[in-house]
Chains A and B, each alone.
Chain A
Amino acid sequence: MLHYDAVVIGAGTAGLVAGARLAEGGARVCVVAKGVGSTHLAPGTIDVLGYAPDRVASPAAALPEFMTARADHPYALLGPDAVAESLGWLKARVEAGPLPGYRYAGELDRNLLLPSAIGALRPSALVPETMAGGDAALPGRVAVVGSRSLRDFHASLCAGNLRRAGIEARGLEIDIDVERADENALGLARRFDDAGWRAAFAARLAIKLQADERVGLPAMLGARDPHGAWSDLEQRLGRRVFEIPTLPPSVPGMRLFEILRSALRRAGGRLVIGAEVVDVERSGQAIAAVSTRAGGHDVRYAAPWFVLAAGGFASGAIELDSHWVTHERVLGLPLRGLPAPGEPRFVAEYLAEQPMARVGVAVDGELRAEGAENVMVVGAALPGAVPWSEASGEGIALASGSRAAELVLARAGGTPAGAAA
């Protein structure tokens, strides 16, 4: 048995943020996770609110009304200030993080509109500086650059849809020699870390570009030193260069993971990956300890506070079984947002809202799980949101992770939560 002030379950954005902020607040924290989390799959942008359901121009302006209209939504529990505060925290951690010079750009006042790999425009509040140049509000034509060597990005399709959105864009392909036929963005990102290779690439690309074009490339501009790679490329090409997120694995997402991991570690928090929670010790209305599967014998972690950041259906933390029963599998907590018995769980139209979409762990107004008074629920485990269609996932993760840490610290320190807020 190991004792901590707080144990965080899950190492996606929400869990790492909660863990880092708890540790920064002086708590002895251990983050346990079954595996590496959602960061590696998401674009690395902080989408706060993109659709409600019409496209949102300013999350700051839209959030108050949205929170009133959707009392069941995580944002309604968090409040606009928590969102703004957490964005500021993240920006600072990015700056102080392990990637020299790397920054996040954007404000809560205005969503940037960044091209996706198919050329749709995604509204994001806070984005890596390496992507900001793709904002549809910026003037100038766009050259979207891909390569046949990267199956995960199709430049002319992206450019075609951008043109339909009124942006003057064209797609072009550039040869990149790869040793691996199935190279992904991460493999190419490692190439972009190499200054010599980058210079040669820039030289080959430069001759294909027209005078007033900015350049969109798949998000692969450097794994180790993205700021260096990106700014070098901008300099060499003499124009704006921006990254476009594409299929997993997400290079910008991995950067975000490194930033958050490093924040956690620097504040003294532990991180245990590969540790799936397989047993729970309860003490009345509270969780006393959780056991994680290791080899041979399980390992028990005890704490006065637990933060459940294990995700929803995508991670398997919430599961619908073959008898059509839905469970929260980590701690066995009650759920909210389930369709009534006999009601459809899914509907035949793929892009319609699916009735199961808003299922999450039932919480009170301060993120506390129903039936477990010392468990704070954060991120995709929260009920009430459809993050992939609202474009709200990372915003919820960041704000709820921050807020949970704040509430735990306030309670552990004996101050009422409200005072800390």
Chain B
Amino acid sequence: MTTLSTDVLVIGGGATGAGVAWDAALRGFDVVLVDRGDLAEGTSGRFHGLVHSGGRYAVKDPKAAEECIAENRILRRIAADCIEDIGGFFVTTPWDDPAYADRFKDGCQATGVDCEEIDPALSLREEPRLNPDISRVFRVPDANIDVWKTVWAMAHGAQDRGARVLPYHAAVAFRRDGDRVTGARVRGARTGEEIDVEARVTVNASGAWAGRVADLAGIEGVRVLPGRGIMIAMNHRLVNTCVNRCQMPTDGDILVPIRTVCVIGTTDEHTGDPDDHTVRESEVDAMLDDGEKLVPGFRQARALRVWTGVRPLFEDAKASDTSTRDVTRAHALLDHDQRDGVTGFVTITGGKLTTFRLMAEETMNAVCRQLGEHRPCTTQTEPLPGSEQREHYRLGERLERKEEHLSGAQLICECEMVTRGKLEDAIRRRATTNLDDIRRLLRLGMGPCQGGFCIYRATGVLHGLDGLSAEQADAALQHFLQERWKGIWPILYGDQLRQARLDDWIFQGVLGVAHTPSSDGDRSAA
């Protein structure tokens, strides 16, 4: 068994965990970051992409609103390249309590959320698809964020400072030394190999899975209720501004334009299992109806795929020991030294993506406290790798780059404009044969055809580059097809069904992927 020794072991490679690793690395700690799957494959990679202005919480949870607007401003600086400045509207639709608008306005003022009421006619000029019956509109500084890009930027930044980042490594057992957690044993999902990681402090940043990880460490009563929500990506940007319903937060009230698509979300349902990804038809229906309220004709527009994300809603059994905030949506930092008398172990859970940096900062403050070291946090000002220029991402960037190299850059994924060069780089960099990992890095196969045209191409490139056997390449292709299908079939109707049928023709009809030699024993018949 390989052994590693480090200052901080972070379990969970979502935005929070990667944020902790980045924060720790900037403070000069040695870090090991592990995740049972790929980075940001869990909750972080399964949200709508909105960096809240705080408006959503201005009435219900002023503290959260203040945190959001503060973090919103910070993220625009430090993660500029991952962020697009889309701006946001809060709109009063005929289904919303008209009295809420004034409370909203007051709430924003009280919490410092920039908010300007504008003429609905102006908003309709800017967003012609918006419901013409909206009565009031407020402009707020919403933004969107590419989480995968952000998380990998932090991971790379940490790596540049010596951190070791191990995706597909699940914690299988904790190292305990009496009342002290001294690290964990992690197992590589692909190799099956175990690594013994000795750490001065272990951070449990596993979000919705934090209760299970704490259990594994022998800490009882960390109760995280996974809150399941569905999100639907529409084929293109029906709006270019984030549109929020001006009402108390509820289901299906946000439409976020992000990259080439827009995402409507979300629902909220408690589930016992954070790995429960069921999508019910009734949820899809409700979400489409909500979309219709914001953008008439929403149901005729093309839905690409649906997915679920699980929020970690913290409800500590040891109520007296919880942090002072009583709101489950707020994040919870559990210093197990104070809470359970176990040192070397900190849990961070709950919260929302917008505040991941703050969560990481508080977590590392607690780690420093446990270690008795004073090392100040610099994540508020240190730009992430790639964001040094402080220029926001623009939607047209990939198109612009392709136009600059029109006859030189071969597109593999046409929908998301992923070039062969980018694909080859990513395959080398990640040293992976999993095209789904590549997808998260590059958006490969995430456009309208959902891989119909690019996955054969990408498999061919992967096969040529990685020295895979044909059998392994077939497996990579079939794995990706199955992964894509997961998010397609529960919402397959209209235009996307035409696409799925063409894709069936391509994969099953033209290529015969169901009949490569291993898949049906055609060998002897040949």
Contact = CB atoms under 8 A, between A and B. Distances in A.
Contacts of B407: 179-181
Contacts of A167: 526
B60 interface: no
Interface in A106-141: 113, 116-122, 136
Given A320-B494, A346-B489, A348-B489, A389 B508 contact: yes
B109 interface: no
Given A117-B511, A121-B512, A166-B523, A388 B504 contact: yes
B512 A55 contact: no
Given A118-B474, A165-B526, A388 B509 contact: yes
A116 B511 contact: yes
B5 interface: no
B474 A161 contact: yes
A314 interface: yes
Contacts of B490: 346
B392 interface: no
B510 A43 contact: yes
A255 to B, nearest CB: 16
A316 interface: yes
B512 A118 contact: yes
A331 interface: no
Interface string A155-182: 0110111011111000000000001111
B299 A182 contact: no
A119 to B, nearest CB: 7
A380 to B, nearest CB: 9
Given A180-B407, A312-B501, A120 B526 contact: no
Nearest to A154: B460
B518 interface: yes
Nearest to B457: A151
B323 to A, nearest CB: 40
Contact of B505 (A42, A151, A154): A42
B471 interface: yes
Contacts of A180: 407
Contact of A157 (B410, B473, B481): B473
B463 interface: yes
Contact of A313 (B406, B482, B501): B501
A226 interface: no
A222 interface: no
Interface in B453-501: 453, 456-457, 459-461, 463-464, 469-471, 473-474, 477-478, 481-482, 484-486, 489-490, 492-495, 497-498, 501
A242 to B, nearest CB: 16
A319 interface: yes
B498 A314 contact: yes
Interface string A329-361: 000000000000000011111110010000000
A240 to B, nearest CB: 17
Interface in A3-59: 41-43, 51, 55, 57
Contact of B518 (A113, A157, A164, A354): A164
A33 to B, nearest CB: 16
A384 interface: no
B300 interface: yes
A118 B516 contact: yes
A74 to B, nearest CB: 16
B515 interface: yes
Contacts of B469: 160
Contacts of A347: 489
A119 B508 contact: no
Given A179-B407, A322-B288, A117 B526 contact: no
B526 A166 contact: yes
B489 A120 contact: no
B523 A349 contact: no
Interface in B415-471: 420, 453, 456-457, 459-461, 463-464, 469-471
A120 B511 contact: yes
A180 B407 CA distance: 5
B404 interface: no
Contacts of A388: 504-505, 508-509
B412 to A, nearest CB: 6
Nearest to A322: B299
Contact of B486 (A153, A321, A348): A348
Interface stretch (A197-205, A244-252, A288-296): A244-252
B213 to A, nearest CB: 28
B515 to A, nearest CB: 5
Contacts of A153: 460
B515 A314 contact: no
B456 A55 contact: no
A406 B471 CA distance: 47
Given A324-B493, A346-B492, A161 B517 contact: yes
Contacts of A165: 517, 522-523, 526
A319 B494 contact: yes
Contact of A350 (B485, B510, B520, B525): B485
B508 A117 contact: no
Residue of B300, B495, B514 with highest tally of chain A CB at under 10 A: B514
A314 B505 contact: yes
Nearest to B484: A350
A55 B489 CA distance: 28
A181 B494 contact: no
Contacts of A57: 525
Interface string A67-94: 0000000000000000000000000000
A159 to B, nearest CB: 8
Given A167-B526, A247-B453, A348-B485, A393 B509 contact: yes
A117 B456 contact: yes
Contacts of B474: 118, 161
Contacts of B522: 55, 120-121, 165
A181 B410 contact: yes
A116 B517 contact: no
A152 B453 CA distance: 8
A156 B510 contact: no
A312 B523 CA distance: 33
B510 A117 contact: yes
Given A154-B460, A247-B456, A164 B523 contact: yes
Contact of A248 (B471, B477, B498, B506): B506
A275 interface: no
B281 interface: yes
B26 interface: no
B252 to A, nearest CB: 14
Contacts of A116: 510-512
A405 B508 CA distance: 30
Residue of A250, A347, A354 with highest tally of chain B CB at under 10 A: A354
Contacts of A346: 489-490, 492
A42 B494 CA distance: 22
B502 interface: yes
B526 A121 contact: yes
A120 B410 contact: no
A395 interface: no
Nearest to A394: B509
B460 A157 contact: yes
Contacts of A314: 498, 501-502, 505
B195 interface: no
30 contacts: A42-B509, A113-B525, A117-B456, A118-B474, A118-B477, A118-B512, A118-B516, A120-B513, A120-B516, A121-B512, A151-B412, A156-B463, A160-B471, A164-B518, A167-B526, A181-B409, A182-B410, A182-B411, A247-B453, A250-B510, A312-B501, A314-B498, A314-B505, A319-B497, A321-B299, A322-B300, A345-B492, A348-B486, A351-B481, A393-B509
Interface of A: 41-43, 51, 55, 57, 113, 116-122, 136, 151-154, 156-157, 159-161, 163-167, 179-182, 245-248, 250, 312-316, 319-324, 345-351, 354, 387-389, 391, 393
The 3 A-B residue pairs whose C-beta atoms are closest, nearest first, are: A154-B460, A160-B470, A120-B512
Given A181-B409, A324-B281, 5 more contacts: A151-B412, A160-B473, A161-B474, A165-B522, A348-B485
